[in-house]
Amino acid sequence: MSPYLRFAALAIVVPLAVGCSSEPTATPELAAQWWQWTKSAPAPVNPVRDLSGEHCAVGQTGSVWFLAGGYGSSKIRRRCTVPADQALFFPVINMVHYPHPNGAEYTCDRAKTDAAVNNDTALELFAELDGVSIEIGEQQRIRSEDCFDIFERVSPRPDGLRGYPSATDGFWLLLQPLEPGTHSLKFGGRYNAESGSFGKMIQDIEYQLIVN
């Protein structure tokens, strides 16, 4: 049995943002909070498992609105209403690794190394807002500097559920609040089939974002 668990998820991006003096910054800490958000919702209303967008508001807190992608290979079309006054944060594609409940000892350095494997060879990453392509490059890559507990927001917490050390690595986008109205957001990508875990994962995600 593997001593760790791993997941891949993909989400969307959209510029057309209005800057401000107190705008948030894309950081490893924000990426960790995104993963903690994904694990905090029960499966029936989990935004990552949601195939329509009806649960996109579940678990949202703070001044940054998280957008979900899909676990593993996914082809998903969602409709989601988002606030006009909140920045949007999500991964174009990413990985997370954390200990298996009954596995051997797992270190933070191992988690960070495992999370990086597929992202070193990610292919054909793209995002498109209202028909306009958004460039995605190495400058959008965020990696955990310190490990975190992916289950920090899970309550009550089942016995034996180990969330530390968790580490994430991926390509992320942080957008300032969008103009009110309806926006079309598409994104996708794949991992190199020879890169190891999730090597054949392909993503095809589309959002209709209603901003008000």
Per-residue pLDDT of the chain (212 residues; tens, 9 = 90+): 333 455 554 433 334 333 333 457 889 999 999 999 999 999 999 999 999 999 999 999 988 999 998 888 899 999 999 999 998 898 888 889 999 876 678 999 999 999 998 888 888 898 888 998 888 889 899 999 999 999 999 989 888 888 999 999 999 988 888 999 999 988 878 887 665 555 678 888 899 999 99
Tokens of 54: 């009806």
Full-model pTM: 0.86
pLDDT for res 122: 84
d(CA 199, CA 73): 10
Tokens of 74: 């996914």
| Range(s) of the domain holding residue 163 | 4-211
Strand partners for 123 = 190
Question: What DSSP line would sit under 117-153, residue for residue?
Answer: TGGGGEEEEEEEETTEEE---GGGEEE-SS-B-TTTT
pLDDT for res 23: 59
d(CA 93, CA 111): 17
Q: What are the φ and ψ backbone dihedral angles of 178, each rounded to 5 degrees? A: -80, 160
**Which residue has tokens 């807190």?**
61
d(CA 86, CA 65): 6
Number of structural domains (the chain) is 1
d(CA 100, CA 6): 9
Tokens of 36: 């903690």
pLDDT for res 202: 82
Which of 80, 95, 94 minimizes the C-alpha distance to 14? 80
Tokens of 145: 């500097």
d(CA 187, CA 90): 11
> 113 in helix, strand or coil?
helix
Strand partners for 43 = none
d(CA 113, CA 204): 26
Residue 131's region, left for phi above 0, alpha for psi from -120 to 50, else beta, is left
pLDDT for res 161: 87
